[in-house]
Structure 1
């Protein structure tokens, strides 16, 4: 009983507890490398291609050092389907490719960019893409409107990285 009433006893008990925690931390395996989960989007892209009547676009290959980490199909405005493919870039920023068959002028590009103000154009594979920038969100966006579909590349990545993703986009053939 007397042992628990002295400062020395409390100090010993505290030391024993800290030693046990320290031993536990030393024995527990720890990874010092970043691990970004990779998500294959090939099935999502194929399902989207079957679900929509227009020409679907997708990356011919992922840019070097990029990790595809999300993908989904959602319902957009007026019942239009929207495809989203998310990436962690080589510089560990965020980039996303999205496309929708909303009617031109329906605002899909504006909603994705969080802005309706163009800041110029970017030539990607000889094609002009409209540039948008939302400073308060550090969001850059490239938009290309084609007959029947709007393509959007957006995120916190810098302009060259966004252009790199846009450059990989190709038409995906319809399944037979």
Structure 2
């Protein structure tokens, strides 16, 4: 028995027993091969935002097909203005974010959210025209719509059709 506990042979046997135990554990431990993106309901955040701001809040009437809402928050913007953020993993598993605020000047809010001030054309969504912006270094696409009481920004690594889909689902919510 002494030869199993001493020397190189004993070390090799002990190592084999340990590796066999780890292998057995890996064999019986549950493993998931499926992607998991946490889904966060934003309805309460949108309702709370509506109680804090003096204008009608915009939000998607429904989530785009295959998209997962995975973040939402209300934050203070410049000058104390409230900003609503809704984040998504798109069907193509890119990132998209919808932000809105009555921060003034509206151009500064849009520039900060998009990371660029230069328009790259327009995008027609239904009967509404959105301004397109593209930040080359981050491959970030953005749609901007400035209204009299609020600025809407949709931005992220999602492609133009995906951003346009989200823009088409936005509608004003009742103040409740």
Query: Could you say which TM-score interval applies, normalised by the shorter chain?
Result: over 0.9
* Alignment TM-score, normalising by the size of structure 1: 0.96
Counterpart CA distance in 1 for 2:5 and 2:141 is 63
Unaligned 5+ runs, structure 1: none
Counterpart residue number, 1:35:
36
**Structure 2 unaligned regions, length at least 5:** none
8 Å Cα contact 1:139-1:155 kept in structure 2:
yes
Distance, in Å, in 1 between the alignment partners of 2:5 and 2:120 is: 72
Query: Is the CA contact (8 Å cut-off) linking 2:66 and 2:90 kept in structure 1?
Result: yes
1:117-128 aligned within 5 A? 117-128=118-129
Q: How much does 1:106 deviate? A: 4.9
> What is aligned with 1:77?
78
Following TM superposition, where does structure 1 have runs of at least 4 consecutive aligned residues deviating by more than 4 angstroms? none
Task: Quote the Cα distance in structure 1 between the aligned partners of 2:86 and 2:51.
Answer: 17
For residue 11 of structure 1, report the CA deviation from its aligned partner: 1.2
Residues 1:105 and 1:62: Cα distance change in structure 2 (over 3 Å): closer
The alignment of Structure 1 onto Structure 2 pairs a total of residues equal to 175
CA RMSD of aligned residues (A): 1.1
Give the match's secondary structure for 1:64: coil
Q: In 1, are the aligned partners of 2:83 and 2:99 still within 8 Å (CA)?
A: yes
Question: Equivalents in 2 of 1:3, 1:31: separation in Å?
Answer: 39
